[in-house]
Chain A
Amino acid sequence: MSEPSPAFTIALAGQPNVGKSTVYNFLTGEAQYVSNWPGKTSETRAGTFEFEGDLIRLVDLPGTYSLSANSVEEQIAREYIIEQRPDVLLVILDAVTLERNLYLVAELLHLPVKLVLGINRMDLAAGQGMHIEPQVLEAALHVPVVPLVAQHGEGIREAVAAAVRLARSPQSWQPNRPVIRADHQQVLAAVEDLIRGHVPAHYPPGWIAMKLLEGDRVVTDTMKARLGAAWAPVHDLLVQHDDAFLAVAGGRYDWIARMVRAAVVRPRSGEVSQTDRIDHIATHPFWGVVILLAVMAALFGLTFALGVPLQGWLEQHVVQAAAAAVPALLRGAPDWLVSLAAHGIIGGVGTVLTLLPILVLFFAGMGVLEDSGYMARAAFVMDRWMHPFGLHGKSFLPLSFGVGCNVPAVMESRIIEEPSARRITILLTPFVPCFPRLSVVVLLAPIFFGAKALAYSLLLFSLPLIFIALYGKIFHELFQKGKHNAFIMELPLYQKPSARAILKSVGARVVDFLQGASTIILVVSVAMWALSYFPGGQIESSYLALWGRQLAPLSRLLGMDWQMAVALITSMLRSENTLSTLSVLYGAGAQHGLAAALAGQIAPAAGLAFLSMQVLFVPCVATLAAVRTESKSWGWMFAYVALRLATALAVGVLVYQVGRLLGWGA
């Protein structure tokens, strides 16, 4: 015996995760049929249920945000509605994001189908302080609206009853549809006239015309094929009105705003407003900066307080112990091999590796700030601060990425279309001190400045920012004539940082650091050792000393000896090379660690000049290659090297000479 034919077909539509499946399961129970849509991999479900004596067929359409053919699901939903014409479409909306959900309704109202709206999660919306008046919304839309709490089965049968009533009295269907903006209504009519007689069966010409104005890819391709030579005038009209999208989609948003004006009162409390309350202070023009400085000071303070003693312990008990064991382990080996192992490899790479505790703490702190959502606010606050200096909009994005690594940050300048603005950003981005550069300061500042390391570090970190602002202002006035580029940030909600995410981020960065230590830092350490050992086995008569002494006149102005100048130059291969080179050249290893080797030999003024130059010096070669690639000009790259060199030297000389006058030179 065959099953009786259903009296009605109701299709369920809605955005993903709004509770459609809950409604479907409530109504059909186990009586469901699952299959793929013809020619698609997307799954569909259809089932039947009895309602007040009628058998009703229920089809669960894929969840979609709109009907713009951006995805297979959207295409399936609109094709089903137009071609299969269910008697009623029960659209499930999420009360918490009602406005966003109404966009789909705005599109559905132009299709040949009658709608009933079920507003689900009314309880959650109420819990977040939202007050929704379904009857007011119904009056505004002229569409039946039923409140639901689908999880508890509340309102579902009432929604079905409304759908059955609508199916039985189709003449009552007089919805308030969104309209295209007035100045484009004639264009819409003209397109409709041109395509009439060519649209596929079942498809309303008005809907096709609207989709053409929106630039819908699938509809455009279909009509192009069906119209053939007659496509040309349609195409010309669409090109003439390439802003029609704003008129069509803008009309929908205007409609949504009108519909919810009286029916929805937004939350005064809850998660969103809690974020807003925090942001009121965290993104404040003045307090936001104060908070940012306090947060960064706390991060560096904690890193110094915990990381530096650990680093010292590693240096003493691991690096020095290992270096001291080398002569015994390599008994009988030539002197140069012992020296290479003790000073070149263990002294150089080992010293860099002792940075690990500092880096782990620093990365973990940054991970907490990032995962909590605070760093987005920090970027926002910084953007506001930089506006007076001519740096804004798109330029700020690569600049803020530069903290991680300058190479991808320079590449990010591609987001700027205008060539001169892009080149300015390419030049400014590598001024941002990257993590490796920061780590050199974090390690050396306590050696040079003792208890005042934190204050000096903050001063040193602000130096590049001052030059970004200064050069930004100059370049912007010279090349940009004060032109603005806008950008918008979506600040994420604050959240409790996830330990897993932080561990993952710290792990990824540590691996990157170790890879650098095992490759380029090792090579540079060995090369520096070789140049400082040969030809006679004494550093003072080495090739490097011979070459380094050529820099003596300049070094004197900076208060540095040649070893420090060479260390600075090796940072161009990788920033941490500064540390390994200093370790090799100052003989850190078996006898004493880097701290002890440097402490007695470098005056505070020279140390400050050295670190000032370190943060302003020519960036690593990988960054220079990125500058060359992105600017497509060797000239810009060399001009950039000259600018960085001149800046670093000028600041270094100034800092040392002023420091000397203040009595810090001894």
Chain B
Amino acid sequence: MLEKLLKRISQGGNLTAQSLAAEFGVSRALMEAMLADLARAGYLRAVERCGKDNCRSCGEAPVCKVQGKVWVQTQKGSGE
């Protein structure tokens, strides 16, 4: 299932964890776990806004919430 998921992600398009969960017939929580596993193995990467640890005093911290959680495909994930 993970390989199929990786192939599907490589095809691109507007992807959300919800839409992928529906497409693969699994729950959203399981899809999120699969994405986390792919990230752990280096196929995806969870996007962190700036890598700084001063969110509490950062004026832009609220903007971080704009995206929700985001995963991007790495070069390993796209097979390059």
Instruction: Give the interface of A toward B (CB within 8 A).
Output: 65, 68, 70, 97-100, 103, 215, 245-246, 249-250, 253-254, 256-257, 266, 272, 276, 279, 283, 366-367, 370-371, 373, 375-376, 378-380, 383-384, 387, 392-394, 397, 400-401, 403-405, 408, 411-412, 415, 417-418, 484-492, 501, 504-505, 508-509, 511-512
Chain A contacts for B44, CB-based, 8 A: 488
Given contacts A411-B50, A412-B50, A491-B16, contact A100 B30 (CB under 8 A): yes
The chain A residue with its CB closest to the CB of B61 is A508
Contact yes or no, A383 B72, CB < 8 A? no
**A664 CA to B24 CA, complexed, in Å:** 57
**A400 CA to B30 CA, complexed, in Å:** 28
Contact yes or no, A488 B30, CB < 8 A? no
Q: Name the 8 nearest CB pairs between A and B, nearest first.
A: A512-B59, A404-B63, A505-B62, A250-B2, A376-B68, A490-B69, A100-B29, A99-B30
Contact with A along B8-25 (1 / 0, CB 8 A): 011111111110100011
Chain B contacts for A370, CB-based, 8 A: 62-63, 65-66
Number of interface residues of B (CB under 8 A): 54
Nearest-Cβ distance from residue A534 to partner chain B, whole angstroms: 36
Contact yes or no, A508 B68, CB < 8 A? no
Nearest-Cβ distance from residue B50 to partner chain A, whole angstroms: 5
Partner of A245, one of B41, B62, B72, B75: B41
Which of A65, A99, A257, A394 has the most chain B CB atoms inside 10 A of its CB? A99
Chain B contacts for A485, CB-based, 8 A: 12, 72-73, 78
Given contacts A249-B2, A485-B73, A489-B69, contact A257 B20 (CB under 8 A): no
12 A-B pairs besides A370-B66, A487-B72 with CB distance below 8 A are A375-B66, A397-B67, A417-B74, A418-B75, A486-B9, A486-B10, A486-B11, A486-B12, A486-B13, A486-B73, A486-B78, A508-B57
Contact yes or no, A257 B26, CB < 8 A? yes
Interface residues of B in 20-79 (CB under 8 A from A): 20, 24-30, 32-35, 37, 40-41, 43-45, 47, 49-50, 57-63, 65-75, 78
Chain A contacts for B12, CB-based, 8 A: 392-393, 484-486
Contact yes or no, A488 B62, CB < 8 A? no
Contact yes or no, B9 A489, CB < 8 A? no
Nearest-Cβ distance from residue A498 to partner chain B, whole angstroms: 11
8 of the cross-chain contacts (CB-CB < 8 Å) are A70-B40, A100-B32, A249-B2, A370-B63, A487-B72, A488-B16, A504-B62, A512-B59
